[in-house]
Structure 1
């Protein structure tokens, strides 16, 4: 089996991982958005979301990075400006995941989180990443 025959499988795993990662980040973001004014009863939901984050979202993020870098190497795209822009947005989305994970941990431990939600930045990142990945503008 040569490297080029693995490309479609690498891309499929990358896209599936990206869907799981973005879905997990969006779920936590929606939860954090919904409790910013009323956090009563949030501890149990935060604990459940935190388990999901550890079991699914974080491994999906690692797969996105691993298989995405593999695709970039295979496609020889590291000099492409669109990839630099996409990587910037992926770093921002990964950072948002880390920030949200910390907030989720604090809420699951009974501490109130009044910090501003990251939902707008997350949505912009996901839209930008998707457009850049599909269109690959020169």
Structure 2
């Protein structure tokens, strides 16, 4: 199999991992918003979300990074501004996920969650990443 043959498979794997990662980040954000109110149901829910995060969201993030890096290398795209802008947004989204994971961990053991200021940037960042990846301006 040549690199040209592998490209559609790399792209499909990258997109699948990115969708799972973004879904996990959005779910984390929703639980953190709900966790501001002290309720009895939030602790078991956050414990389940932590397991999901460890088994699905974090590996999906790592897979998106790995497959995306493979695509960028195969396309020779690292010098292009659109990819550099996309990488800045992806690093930011990965950092938000890390902050969310810490807050989810606090909620799972019964402590309150602090509001995440960067969480409002999740949807605009995902839209910008998609536009940059598809349009490649």
Same fold (TM over 0.5): yes
Match of 1:40 in 2: 39
**Alpha-carbon distance in 1 for matches of 2:7, 2:124:** 28
Deviation at 1:31, TM superposition (A): 1.2
TM-score normalised to structure 1 length: 0.94
Q: Which runs of 5+ in 2 are unaligned?
A: none
**Alpha-carbon distance in 1 for matches of 2:38, 2:119:** 17
Q: Which runs of 5+ in 1 are unaligned?
A: none
Residues 9-46 of structure 1, C-alpha deviation per residue, up to 9 Å, x if partnerless? 0000000000000000001111112222x131211111
- From the superposition, tell whether residues 102 and 32 of structure 1 become closer, same or farther in structure 2 (CA, over 3 Å): same
Match of 1:28 in 2: 28
Match of 2:58 in 1: 58
Match of 1:99 in 2: 99
Q: Is the 8 A contact 2:96 2:119 kept in 1?
A: no
Deviation at 1:121, TM superposition (A): 1.2
Structure 1 window deviating more from structure 2 (1-10 vs 114-123): it is: 114-123
- From the superposition, tell whether residues 26 and 32 of structure 1 become closer, same or farther in structure 2 (CA, over 3 Å): same
Match of 1:124 in 2: 124
SS at match of 2:39: coil
Computed over aligned residues only, the root mean square deviation of the Cα atoms, in angstroms, reads 1.0
Residues 43-92 of structure 1, C-alpha deviation per residue, up to 9 Å, x if partnerless? 11110100000000000000000000000001110010000000000000
Match of 1:113 in 2: 113
SS at match of 1:59: helix
